Amino acid sequence: MAILNVTPDSFSDGGSIASVNDALCQVERFIAEGADIIDVGGESTRPGSSRVTVDEEIARVVPVVEAIAKRFDIPVSVDTSKADVAERSLELGAEIINDISGLRFDARIADVAAASKAGLVLMHSRGEFEAMHSQPPVDDIIAEVSKNFRTAIATAEGRGVASESIVLDVGIGFGKSPEQNLELLAKLDRLVADFPQYPMLVGTSRKSFIGKLLDGAPAEGRLSGSLATAAVAVWNGASIVRAHDVKETVEAVKLLDAIKGQL
């Protein structure tokens, strides 16, 4: 899953023709590099960022989603926690909703996903939007994520989402200590075994826990760490990895798959 940011800090300005063209060029490259899904996000979830309005997010995301769906064959997922953004995106060609709140912010996302028979990623996170990255760590992160998965799955299925449409994600970097991010990767196999029906998605790409372990490496200096952590996630049963560096990640995952083939 290739990460396509359409926040103003990463692009010309949301919704403009220049930004849509930038996005299409990037998608063309991601596809050539082996991406299977394009994840379009218009709301930065960086520590300290505040929420954008529904209209703002729709203006950034929807023209890009529509343009990608028209021009390419690849499934588009939309990184949003707002049902209105999800609904417009699905109408214009998105096939997957990637909800970093796991239905905590807007459970109507499940209704919208069910009505369109869209894929739905339920990611674990803790706290309200502004406080997601400053949560006091819980004691047992594996138990916490597991409990949250059960709640989110029950909400989704209760609102009509087919179990085959659901993907789970441990939410690396969201309300976890650096050690807990590592623990989730080390013990991912247990969560995969506890939820065997649902594919597991993992996103470690360039995240700050990698920088912390590498003496403060900036985002551009986190490629090796991103690949090492993606490799562990795949080894421990992840079916999808979310990444900025598509070529390198696809190559790493190919090696992992080849090794797994020898089990």
Tell me: does residue 46 bind ligand 7PM (CB under 6 A). Answer: yes
How far, in Å, CA of 122 to CA of 25, rounded? 29
Total interface residues for ligand 7PM by CB under 6 A: 17
Judged by beta carbon, residue 9 or residue 263, the one nearer ligand 7PM is 9
How far, in Å, CA of 60 to CA of 33, rounded? 25
Task: Return the residue nearest ligand 7PM (CB atom).
Answer: 203
Main-chain dihedrals φ then ψ at residue 210, nearest 5 degrees: -70, -45
Tell me: does residue 176 bind ligand 7PM (CB under 6 A). Answer: no
CB under 6 A: which stretch of 65-73, 107-115, 166-174, 216-224 binds ligand 7PM? 166-174
How far, in Å, CA of 169 to CA of 238, rounded? 9
In sequence order, the 6+-apart residues with CB closer than 8 A to the CB of 137 are 175, 176, 177, 180
How far, in Å, CA of 219 to CA of 128, rounded? 25
How far, in Å, CA of 186 to CA of 180, rounded? 9
Tell me: does residue 173 bind ligand 7PM (CB under 6 A). Answer: yes
CB under 6 A: which stretch of 25-33, 197-205, 219-227, 230-238 binds ligand 7PM? 197-205
Judged by beta carbon, residue 118 or residue 121, the one nearer ligand 7PM is 121
Catalytic residue among 212, 242, 247, 254: 242
Judged by beta carbon, residue 17 or residue 142, the one nearer ligand 7PM is 142
How far, in Å, CA of 123 to CA of 146, rounded? 11
- Applying CB under 6 A, which of residues 4, 92, 94, 123 lies at the interface with ligand 7PM? 123
Contact track, ligand 7PM, 237-256, x by CB under 6 A: -----x--------------
CB under 6 A: which stretch of 25-33, 86-94, 164-172, 191-199 binds ligand 7PM? 164-172
Select from 108, 66, 50, 64 the least CA-distant residue to 84: 108
Catalytic residue among 150, 207, 247, 254: 207
Q: Is 207 part of the annotated catalytic residue set?
A: yes
- Min dist CB 201 to ligand 7PM, Å, is 5
Footprint (CB under 6 A) of ligand 7PM, residues 199-218: 201, 203, 205, 207
How far, in Å, CA of 44 to CA of 7, rounded? 7
Angle between helices 108-116 and 141-158 (to 10 degrees): 60
- Min dist CB 240 to ligand 7PM, Å, is 9
3-state SS of 45-86 is: CCCCCCCCCHHHHHHHHHHHHHHHHHHCCCCEEEECCCHHHH
Binding site for ligand 7PM (CB under 6 A): 3, 45-46, 79, 98, 100, 121, 123, 169, 171-173, 201, 203, 205, 207, 242
- The residues annotated with a catalytic role in the active site are 207, 242
